[in-house]
Chain A
């Protein structure tokens, strides 16, 4: 390997690597059509092709690869949730993430920097103790830490007891990590396309043809495609697309806003989150501070950035890291989050027999990408719902069996 690198370094030519060859014509029929070429859609295609030998697959994308919420999330990977169902699901995802670069032979810039959630109230300390116990029981590294440990972990954090909401304790999650979100989608798309999957960008699904409870074809802006099965993986547009198949979903779309500062020298290692002051902060490997977690107070499909959110995110970030008062903002943006009533995803079967749902990804979609690819591909290939995603079925809302993760999400709602 070092010689290959040396040779490349001394070469005069640096041929651009194409991640995938864009498909040209839509075929008449595919065994599986996946709607949405974000991280999830491409991960499902990748797993279908690599591990189940199903390669007559098309991924249809109305815009471009990884251009939706895959590009807009803040790239947080963690598994310190509250319910057994949630923890065991996200735990498997973190494990897969740790091996993802090897899996692809492509660098997704995985960085295991840990994640710290701050408690500013007795109630939060109690819930952190609960979460730590559940997490440890499920084999996730997660522990309640005191103020001294927090000060050691994050030396720049404002530990003053005179602040508006003094920090009382923290939930330290050593398994917490970050990765390059674009690279995750690119890696999956590259691996899928190398195995025969077709990626069709600028291809929007306009209607879903259903006959006797089965989907038979999709109408797109580029023509009609017959299909053996359909998976929808369209975070931010789940309700709109599912409605075309006649499936109602328990989702409300809220924009979630984030912003990023000018680059600084590396001074913050872990990801720091405070549900109480409604902000989370981490420093990227480029040095920029990502400040996120501001949800708009009412549903909207627009991804505009607002001054209101910039004010509240800035105020909260400055309370945690006072030096950020000097920072200049480079960008501010929003992504559309599909919020479910219990803050857990909707995965698996739908009322339409061969139409599979990968929806309701609110603010927890990026971290679930690899496990989603594995489990949804297994479902499509075997038609059996994998144990690990059974609790996340759409049917749970009809059976009043919600999985409450409201307290374990970092973003404010």
Chain B
């Protein structure tokens, strides 16, 4: 059984979690054309090595981030999203 440490719920069986994709900063909606959106949405680093990615503890719907090595399948650390998202993003001001 492979274990993953949820920042909220502690160490749990990895089958309780859902993989949520690579972490990429979202491009600025005001200056992003459709080609750049395509790259942001569809294209991936798919790196062989340490990656930062989203995970969700399915039972509690808690989303967090993990650093994981995709060659050795070792999780280096997990952390709350607030480590990266420490400022409010106001989408309203982007509306035209």
Contact = CB atoms under 8 A, between A and B. Distances in A.
B70 interface: yes
A341 interface: yes
A257 to B, nearest CB: 13
Interface of A: 239-240, 248-253, 297-302, 304, 306-308, 341, 397-398, 400
Interface of B: 1-2, 14-15, 18-19, 34-35, 38-39, 42-48, 70-73
B42 A297 contact: no
20 contacts: A239-B45, A240-B46, A240-B48, A249-B43, A250-B43, A251-B44, A253-B46, A297-B15, A299-B19, A302-B72, A302-B73, A307-B1, A308-B1, A308-B15, A341-B42, A397-B38, A397-B42, A397-B43, A398-B35, A400-B38
B43 A248 contact: yes
Contact of B71 (A249, A297, A298, A301): A301
Contacts of A251: 44, 46
Contacts of A301: 48, 70-71
A51 to B, nearest CB: 34
Contacts of A306: 2
A308 to B, nearest CB: 7
A398 B37 CA distance: 9
Nearest to B46: A239
Contact of A250 (B2, B15, B42, B47): B42
A301 B69 CA distance: 9
B70 A299 contact: yes
B44 A398 contact: no
A402 B34 CA distance: 15
Contacts of B19: 297-299
A251 B43 CA distance: 7
Contacts of A307: 1
A244 to B, nearest CB: 12
Contacts of A400: 34, 38
A297 B56 CA distance: 13
A400 B45 CA distance: 19
Given A248-B43, A250-B43, A251-B44, A300 B38 contact: no
Contacts of A297: 14-15, 18-19
B70 A300 contact: yes
A248 B44 CA distance: 7
A301 B74 CA distance: 12
Contacts of B18: 297
A250 B44 contact: yes
Given A308-B15, A398-B35, A300 B73 contact: yes
Contacts of B46: 239-240, 249, 251-253, 299
A400 B38 CA distance: 8
A-B pairs, 10 with minimum CB distance: A239-B46, A298-B19, A250-B42, A397-B42, A301-B48, A248-B43, A398-B38, A250-B43, A301-B71, A302-B73
